[in-house]
Structure 1
Amino acid sequence: MKAFRAALLRFADDGSAVYDEDGLLLVSPGPDGRACVRAAGSWQALAPNYPGVAVEHLPGKILAPGFIDLHVHFPQTDVIGSPAEGLLPWLEQYTFPHEARFAERAYADTIAPVFLDELLRNGVTTAQAFCSSHPASVDALMAAAQVRGLRLIAGKVLQDRHSPEGVCDQTEQSLADTEALIRRWHGQDRLGYAITPRFAPSCSEAQLRGAGELAAKYPDVWIQSHVAENRDEIRWARELFPDARSYLAVYEGFGLMRERAIYAHCIHFDDEDRRLMRSTGAAAAVSPTSNLFLGSGFFDYEGARRIGFRHGLASDVGGGTSFNPFHTMLAAYCVGREGQTKPGISLAPANLWWQHTAGAAQALGLDGVIGNLQPGCEADFLLLDPRATPLLARKVANAGSLDELLFSLIALGDDRVIERAWIAGVPAG
């Protein structure tokens, strides 16, 4: 058993933050041998129950759950920060040419450790990632994540039309490759597979139908794609699928809307789309830095709350401009104020943090497994230094409430705040 004494942040079942200024976190092997949270709470209440257990005392620091990135592109690691007029030109000019290089396993193997190290450096202990259309890209990323003991969900992109040579795949082969990758990687250690149509316009009806058949055959795998990100993209999707009520309904028609289905962006929705998300259990990966960078629009938090469907935060690198969850949370705060409807809403700091941890775990169907520090959760956690920079230290010293403390970190924090990370109870790196 390992024990740590510091301030402690976790979340109750209703999403509210629970904070102990002097907390105790105990970690021990669970029934499967994997390190899990044994107990978490105030030092005063818990310490008498564990006499003789050695405690690592970390005064002035905060223990918090590892962040979860609901949507990020592994092959776009080196695409981040590439200027373009909008989504579709950005794909053509930068993304597709770079992703074509991932056909070679040797190249993918050089990028995988860079990608995973960057996530961990920024406190992201679980990610759901797009690979390229090449099986080698999945093998490279999964193998690298397995060595690190990470919980990772990833999938080979499906795109058999309207895609340039080098990334366009062949329908039947792409589905056979997907099934082979599911069998190879899904459920191995902490790895999971996601069936990954890039977005509806890049997939033929036969490919989408095949993806839906695989989703039915393997109900515990995930599904990930993009939807309603950009108005030009939406017009294109409606031209290609004229019988569908909406862009989102295209996926419903092919059996791709269910629990463990994560759709990035979900910006240009109406209430019927929101009700479809709610009724199927699908979730939105809100990607505010990407949406701002590409000029796509603003996720409607008011609509999501009013109808009530699952959502969590994502970097969407390389359209997103940072791997860092603090930058993503701050962008989400600004987006909430703007919104698709007026007036906007002011997202509470604790809610922003929840969207990137326990709320993201709920979106993945992994609540109670990751994203929290409640008993039974896997021991993926961070040690945060709230005084990592001089300005942050001044701000935190004047914080009069938990919201003020958390928002100081959101507004002023970066990777320097992440002092240490543990993966399944083992120090990362």
Structure 2
Amino acid sequence: MSRQAYRAALLHAVDDPSVVPADEAIVAHDDGLLLVEDGHVAAFGDWAERGPTLSADVELTELPGQLIIPGFIDAHTHYPQTDVMAAWGSQLLDWLNNHTFPAELAFADRGHADEAAGFFLDQLLRNGTTSALVFCTVHKASVEALFEAALARNMRLVAGKVLMDRGAPAGLLDTVETGRADTEALIRAWQGRGRLGYAVTPRFAVTSSDEQLAMAGAVAAAHPEVLIHTHLSENLAEIDRVAELFPGAKDYLDVYAQHGLVTSRSVFAHCVHASEDSLKRMAAAGASAAFCPSSNLLLGSGLFSLRQACRCGVNVALGTDVGAGSSFSQLAMMGEAYKVGQLAGEPLDPFQAFYAATLAGARALRLDDRIGNLAPGKEADFLVIDPAATPLLARRTAAARNWRERLFALSLLADDRAIARTFVAGSCAHKRTG
């Protein structure tokens, strides 16, 4: 049995701070012990209590002044859009046509997909993200490239082939029949292989016909182990277009509901303009929302109300939404989410943001029995954070009076330099150099 112990400050979430008091939802130890056995957490607690119980054969790594937290979980991102990050443009529909679709056409080339997938996953690890829910492209090989790269890195990743049979360039369209065949073949080949999972992935209602959405719902129903991943109510022009295309639906969410796509396995990206009624229906179904503050700001989509969604009972996780999102960092997304809340008159508690970047993401991916915090028995995906990675960060975190202030400083001032090490299933997958 492989056993490693780490002594450092420890922090994780055990519940949603919007549901239970923060001092119950967030557990921290200024001087703690994390014990890892064969890639799983064996112990998490106070050093003074647990340190003396370590046996002599356990390898101990002392990390004075550093912080161990769970690996971040990105609840919504697009690996094929890495090369359009920081692309100047207008709002969603034009941005798709001018930037996204041209970039995705290149993924017909498997060599391009392989290179992009490797770069994307290395950037996730560099920024402390150990799990993600990922859009690929319409090309079956784009999914295979990402899964092969994730399998080689032993990452817990969920992804899917995009389904689009209208409203996009010819090179990005499939049909109901080819979309079903590719999706089912990918599920057979990859679902449950290593630490991988599949998500049925219609891009959004604008680019799928009734027939294709019905097929997506039928495939998801036939495979209860897979997720459903799509976009919802991101942009006002998009919402108007959905109403034109589906005049018989009550609202945008109802389009998906009519086709069996609103379930406890559904993750809806954005939900910026979702009504309270829609949010309550999502909550009743057990669906999750992915809050993507960086891309919502860049595309001018609007200000998502995390407070309203939580009040309606929706599980809300953070997503980077690369490439409209401008960073791979969930620390950065925590800071961006705070700014969105400020503009909406809803200040965001740093503990809520931390929960959204970790355990809420695991709950959205239906993997909270395996990842999301460092409870004993969970897979040992964790980060070593260096609060002194830059002179400014060191100065500010040293002055922090409590954990809430430390987290907030990290979310506003830290970048990938603060990720000293990233561990995947107990093995170091990234170590900062320099």
If the length of structure 2 is used for normalisation, what is the TM-score?
0.95
Counterpart secondary structure, 2:43: strand
Report the Cα offset of residue 12 of structure 1: 2.4
What percentage of residue pairs aligned between the two structures are identical?
50
* Partner residue in 2 for 1:328: 333
Say which of 257, 264, 268 aligns to 2:269.
264
Correspondence 1:13-412 to 2 at 5 A = 13-15=15-17, 16-29=25-38, 35-52=39-56, 53-339=58-344, 344-412=345-413
* Cα separation, 2, equivalents of 1:59 and 1:309: 38
Counterpart secondary structure, 2:410: helix
Letter in 2 for 1:10: H
- State the Cα deviation string for residues 365-385 of structure 1 (Å, max 9, x = none): 222311211111110000000
Report the Cα offset of residue 18 of structure 1: 1.0
Structure 2: 5+ residue runs without aligned partners? Answer: 18-24
In 1, are the aligned partners of 2:14 and 2:359 still within 8 Å (CA)? no
Counterpart secondary structure, 2:131: strand
- State the Cα deviation string for residues 97-152 of structure 1 (Å, max 9, x = none): 11011012111011111000011110000010000000000000000000000001
Structure 1: 5+ residue runs without aligned partners? Answer: 30-34
Report the Cα offset of residue 48 of structure 1: 2.4
In 2, are the aligned partners of 1:153 and 1:192 still within 8 Å (CA)? yes
What RMSD, in angstroms, separates the aligned Cα atoms of the two structures?
Answer: 1.0
In 1, are the aligned partners of 2:306 and 2:316 still within 8 Å (CA)? no
Letter in 1 for 2:53: N
Residues matched between the structures, number: 420
* Cα separation, 1, equivalents of 2:302 and 2:311: 19
Counterpart secondary structure, 1:78: helix
Letter in 1 for 2:6: F
Report the Cα offset of residue 159 of structure 1: 0.3
Counterpart secondary structure, 1:21: strand
- State the Cα deviation string for residues 279-314 of structure 1 (Å, max 9, x = none): 111100000000000000011122112211111100
- State the Cα deviation string for residues 71-109 of structure 1 (Å, max 9, x = none): 000110101111111111111111101101101211101
Counterpart secondary structure, 1:129: strand
Letter in 1 for 2:361: A
* Cα separation, 1, equivalents of 2:59 and 2:139: 48
* Cα separation, 1, equivalents of 2:170 and 2:254: 29
- State the Cα deviation string for residues 209-244 of structure 1 (Å, max 9, x = none): 000000110011011000100000000001101111
Report the Cα offset of residue 14 of structure 1: 4.6
In 2, are the aligned partners of 1:130 and 1:157 still within 8 Å (CA)? yes
Counterpart secondary structure, 1:166: helix
* Partner residue in 1 for 2:21: none
Letter in 2 for 1:41: G
If the length of structure 1 is used for normalisation, what is the TM-score?
0.96
